[in-house]
A = this chain, B = another copy of it.
């Protein structure tokens, strides 16, 4: 398996384990995923109000949950931020 394939699998399996196999992440599952998995590249991941606000931003159909599709938007958002910082000052490239 290539790095890229492993990376995509990690993205998928992280969602599945956080949602316990359901189609959506509920509030608790999403908070846990963000705080446990993204604390190193996002800010305020331990603030439940900040994470709740993030969830509202992702939750396009306003059902209070984060679907796999909505979760992929988050990955895209984080990847974009990272890509900009790498192409710019190259900060945090380690």
Contact = CB atoms under 8 A, between A and B. Distances in A.
B79 A5 contact: no
A9 B68 contact: no
B8 A82 contact: yes
Nearest to A36: B2
5 contacts: A1-B40, A7-B7, A8-B79, A11-B79, A72-B80
A33 B36 CA distance: 30
Interface string A32-56: 0000111111000000000000000
Interface string A71-94: 010011011101100110000000
A2 B4 CA distance: 16
B79 A76 contact: no
| Residue of A16, A80, A83 ringed by the most chain B CB atoms within 10 A | A83
